[in-house]
Amino acid sequence: MNAQLLRIGDDIVAMHAVVTDEGVTLIDAGLPGDRRILQDALAGAGRTLDDIRGVVLTHGDGDHIGVAEWLRAEHGVPTFVHEADAGRAKGEKAPSSSGGAWKLGPALRFFGTALRRGALRTTHLGEVRTVRDGDVLDLPGAPEIIGMPGHSPGSIAIRIPAVDALFVGDAITTRHVLNGSEDVQIGPFSDAPEQTPESLERLRALPERSIVVGHGPIFRGTAADMLAALKR
């Protein structure tokens, strides 16, 4: 299978597209104002919104569901989310408000970016398709679902060997959005951060060499390398 990984957005808030001969799978959906950057990124790969077969959410927070409802309502693209985060993605449950220590510069960059890219216009999902641990989805790249509770009850890792990548959402961050720390660390705004290290252990033996996070640069190395670097 020919497959390409597109990083869309930036190290503050990113989504990713897995582009294959069979179409496109979108991993997370950025912020509400990200419609144009998504279209431009797909155009650069010779694709359009009509090539997107599904959106798979690493979890249901507002900075990960951005364009998902627009894609569903106007383009018929289904969104997949773990059953334990379905209510979160539909706006029925609130995420944690605890983000940890702040530094003025990084925090202003995060909130400024979020505002410029439409964070105040978040539209929750009207309909989702739920997934469970161990599912392999019939989508381009054959995403494999690995349950990763901690950041939220329904947080997942998404394994896509075709692009040599594990997508871990906000389970970890490689650049803390509120204080700028570039340590590999548990993501802020987590419901149960003490649960995340145990969840991450499920990834240890996997061979993929790109650990893709929602906030911060991609970690280049295996899950075992990431666990060795994780700040405890």
The pLDDT assigned to 119 comes to: 84
Residue 100, pLDDT > 80, answer: no
pTM above 0.75, yes or no: yes
Least confident span in 39-43, 89-93, 141-145, 191-195: 89-93
Residue 1, pLDDT > 80, answer: no
Query: What is the Cα Rg of the chain in Å?
Result: 16
* pLDDT tens column, 46-74: 999 999 999 999 999 999 999 999 999 99
The pLDDT assigned to 185 comes to: 96
The total number of structural domains that make up the chain: 1
Residue 109's CATH number = 3.60.15.10
Residues 6+ apart with CB under 8 A from 128: 78, 79, 80, 81, 86, 89, 90
Q: What is the residue-averaged pLDDT of the chain?
A: 94
The two tokens of residue 198 are 């145990």
165 closest CA partner among 28, 72, 23, 51: 28
The better pLDDT of the pair 121, 209 is held by 209
* pLDDT tens column, 174-192: 999 989 899 999 999 999 9
Q: Which domain holds residue 109?
A: 3-229
The pLDDT assigned to 232 comes to: 81
* pLDDT tens column, 103-158: 888 888 888 888 889 888 899 999 999 999 999 999 999 999 999 999 999 999 99
The better pLDDT of the pair 93, 142 is held by 142
